[in-house]
A = this chain, B = another copy of it.
Amino acid sequence: MNEKEFLTAKERALNSLNKAFREEKTDNNIISLLNIINNIKEFYTTSSCEGRTVLLEIPRIGDKRRAKFLGKWHDTVNIDDIKEASKKAEKGLIWLLAQSPVVHIGCANINIADKLLKISIASGFKHSGLKSSKRKYIVEICSTERLDSPVGKDGFLFCNEDYLQLLVDISNEIYRVSKVKIHKLELNLRQNFV
């Protein structure tokens, strides 16, 4: 990808991000990070999730295509949130997932991509990697914290209260750790690029 192609791709990505901002489709906790990145000449964000807790109904292991979201939270959760969302369940296993943030960043060249990758890893996003295709350098910023636990089946939660509380506590801890890491990454980006 030459400089002109990079600038065109960045413009397109920013237009679509601004549309998402206007429609309030962007996760609030990550907007400041996205702005920092997009203000750096050599980068643009292509997709992002600030991290979330999800209640998911999955008919078969790994069958994400037929998975149904029962609840989705970009914040801490409590047991009642989970119970309420589980009422929409019908058939299959119900899973509680806590996912740490993911951001994909288009980079102008491989040297700057390498630099971003090192800073991301140093900020705690240990699972980050450089994902390329023939024409693009995309850095994926992501971390290792996660929870993937079955909590119910065929419309009913089968966990007892104590266990569900533990899973909720773990999900909230992952959410808090994620916020700290996002903040650390923001600081490190400012120090190194701004």
Give A contacts to B, CB under 8 Å. Answer: 61-62, 64, 100, 110-111, 114, 126, 129-134, 137, 140, 143-150, 158-160, 162-163, 166-167, 170, 173-174, 177
Query: Which residues of chain B are near A166, meaning CB under 8 Å?
Result: 150
Q: Which residue from chain B places its CB closest to the CB of A158 in the assembled complex? A: B163
Query: Which residues of chain B are near A174, meaning CB under 8 Å?
Result: 61-62
Contact B148 A159 (CB under 8 A): no
Contact B62 A143 (CB under 8 A): yes
Contact A62 B145 (CB under 8 A): yes
* 8 Å CB contact of A147 from B130, B145, B148: B148
Contact A114 B133 (CB under 8 A): yes
User: How far is B110's CA from A137's CA once the two chains are assembled, in angstroms?
Assistant: 12
Contact A170 B145 (CB under 8 A): no
Contact B130 A131 (CB under 8 A): yes
Query: Which residues of chain B are near A130, meaning CB under 8 Å?
Result: 131-133
User: How far is B61's CA from A177's CA once the two chains are assembled, in angstroms?
Assistant: 9
Contact A148 B150 (CB under 8 A): no
Known: A61-B145, A177-B61. Contact between A129 and B140, CB under 8 A?
Answer: yes
Query: Which residues of chain B are near A111, meaning CB under 8 Å?
Result: 134
Task: List 13 interface pairs A-B (beta carbons < 8 Å), by A numbering.
Answer: A61-B170, A61-B177, A62-B143, A62-B174, A62-B177, A129-B131, A129-B140, A130-B131, A132-B137, A147-B148, A148-B148, A150-B166, A159-B163
